[in-house]
Amino acid sequence: MMLAEKTNFTITRMVRLLEVSRSGYYVWLDRKPSDRMIRREDIEQKVAWFHGDSDEVYGAPRILADLRADGETISRKTVAKTMQRLGLVGICPKKWKTTTVIDHADAYPVDAVKREWDTGALNQVWVGDF
């Protein structure tokens, strides 16, 4: 933030407004990234690459398997937190849900005339089909 505003304001004024020491600012400016930050950035890059390589389908468990196959020693929770921090979400297919209840006994209507269409008299059996 201070580097971006360096052209508009003096360092002395910015450290006074932000309530930090001037010497602390210069020490922070020259500080090298820690091993933890370097590993975090490396893991973030790999997670983002594996997620993109899967067409943004893989979630934490599958990316964890890919990372372990790549030689990383990492936990599932770390992968999940990294994905959350990067805004990456895996796609989870919904379980198949059967909505039609099939009753085989009710598959056909009951045959009330027992297939005897001609009884020998008029208007005794009426049959319809639709």
pLDDT of residue 107: 65
What pTM, to 2 d.p., does this model score? 0.59
Mean pLDDT for 108-116 is 78
Residues 6+ apart with CB under 8 A from 85: 44
Where b means 16+ CB within 10 Å and e means fewer, 65-82 reads ebbeeeebebeeebbbeb
* Structure-model confidence comparison of residues 104 and 86, the more confident one: 86
